[in-house]
Structure 1
């Protein structure tokens, strides 16, 4: 099983999003920093967390929660099926499979232009935990 969240989380991913780095917080939990652009007032997918097995079956959908809400918009976490499309190695054969995922969306306050940030935590049934800091550049 492999974990990946777009750098995330089996493979788990807070996906398609990554431009950032991963560090370890003082509590020993891995923290991934992600930069994302969003158009003011439009719903934007920030990422998704999936758990895929080597045989391309789905593991349990990871639990995602917002630990710090954005100050200039709102987020929503929904369960949807998604394609990963960027698996590598043993998981490359799974690129055409849709997996149940925990998906994070952001919508800024209409008219807001500038920086925003949210923090989230993804928990897996196997006890693994990943934190994410998503820095959002809200544009026209």
Structure 2
């Protein structure tokens, strides 16, 4: 005697496993998730179950390590949104979404040198300071060890993403 598995129960089995994958990806450099579920094989008739297995491998590279001197203010990044003629396209919105445990992170508007890759038409703007946003980090006085800051960056055209910084305070 065979058992038929309704589609609804299969979906309930798959969804929790899929929703955990991003969480697990944040905890490890490489995550493998295998979901095994029973489904009905159409060619074998409505009562014959078969095993369906799917493996998903997600690779998430850790953010680069940034070195900062203990107690000293250090610029983590400067962010620009410039037109090809080096005029300001608009300011990015930058927020600290994960504050450092052993210091402070701030965001400021100002004049900073852009750092566009040479393959970008805006690389000509790298030779002069331009208006933009900068993120700064300063550890607690005397602290030495690891710290972490995460920023949310929203560009003037609406594209958004997060930047994480692992900081080695020396």
1:34 corresponds, among 64, 71, 80, to 64
Distance in structure 2 (CA, Å) of the matches to 1:104 and 1:95 = 18
Q: Alignment partner of 1:51: what SS?
A: coil
- Equivalent residues of 1:116, 1:137 under 8 A apart: yes
- Equivalent residues of 2:70, 2:139 under 8 A apart: yes
Tell whether 2:132 aligns with 1:101.
yes
Query: 4+ residue runs of structure 1 moved beyond 3 angstroms?
Result: none
What residue is the counterpart of 2:97 in the other structure? 67
Q: Please give the root-mean-square deviation of Cα atoms over the aligned residues, in Å.
A: 1.7
Q: TM-score, normalised by structure 1?
A: 0.72
Relative contact order, higher structure (CA 8 A, sep 6+): 1
Aligned residue pairs total 109
* 1:66 CA drift (Å): 0.4
Structure with greater proportional helix content: 2
Q: TM-score, normalised by structure 2?
A: 0.60
* 1:33 CA drift (Å): 2.0
Distance in structure 2 (CA, Å) of the matches to 1:110 and 1:82 = 26
Give the gaps of 5 or more residues in structure 2: 1-60
